[in-house]
Amino acid sequence: MKVIIDADDAAFGLKRVVVDHLKSKGIEVVDLDYNSVKPDATYPEVGYNLAKKVRDERLDRAILICGTGLGMAMIANKVEGVFAGVCHDVYSAERLRASNNAQVLTMGARVVGDELAKTIVDAWLEAEYQGGRSAQKVDTMHNLEKESFKK
């Protein structure tokens, strides 16, 4: 499994914690570190950069972290074909993947602590899209997204 990750300046510390945690589990991690390319980059730029990579490379696992996770989710969802959601609890993280087939997990460094973040990430990574009753809803989201991006 490969996970790409990035964060804004509000979340560099939590990003390091998550990267170390993933690596300790033998997961390949690619830290995009957009702020090293553009030191004054804000969360919209960081999130958009990662979301484009998810779309272009058809990646299915990526993590974005900012102060609350909200802004990162909003900007990632502006990229056609990318589904992102903010999770601050384990159940939501599991459902984000299992029910909604989201490729991008977002979290807030000012909202979750290190240990909770690791648990959230683990729940999201262990979950697989289940389809079932959610499949029609996910398909509807994709269709409505296509309609929206046509305009």
Q: What is the pLDDT of residues 75-86, one digit of tens each?
A: 999 999 999 999
The C-alpha angle with vertex 116 and arms to 44 and 48, in degrees rounded to 5, equals: 15
Domain ranges of the chain: 2-150
**pLDDT tier, 140 (very low <50, low <70, confident <90, very high otherwise):** confident
Note if 66 is an active site residue: yes
- pLDDT(119) > 80: yes
Catalytic option among 50, 64, 66, 112: 66
pLDDT at 103 (0 to 100): 96
Using CB atoms within 10 Å of the CB of residue 28, give its burial: 0 to 12 exposed, 13 to 18 middle, 19+ buried. Answer: exposed
User: How much of the chain, in percent, has pLDDT values that exceed 70?
Assistant: 99
Q: What is the mean pLDDT of residues 35-45?
A: 96
Q: 127 vs 111, 120, 122, 143, 151, CA distance in Å?
A: 22, 11, 9, 24, 34
**pLDDT tier, 138 (very low <50, low <70, confident <90, very high otherwise):** confident
Mean pLDDT for the chain?
93
pLDDT at 82 (0 to 100): 96
Q: What is the mean pLDDT of residues 6-30?
A: 97
- The CATH fold of domain 2-150: Ribose 5-phosphate Isomerase B; Chain: A, (3.40.1400)
Of 151, 146, 49, residue with least CA distance to 104:
49
Q: What is the pLDDT of residues 49-71, one digit of tens each?
A: 999 999 999 998 999 999 999 99
- pLDDT(150) > 90: no
Instruction: For the chain, give the number of residues.
Output: 151
Cβ within 8 Å of residue 29, ≥6 positions away? 2, 3, 4, 5, 19, 22, 23
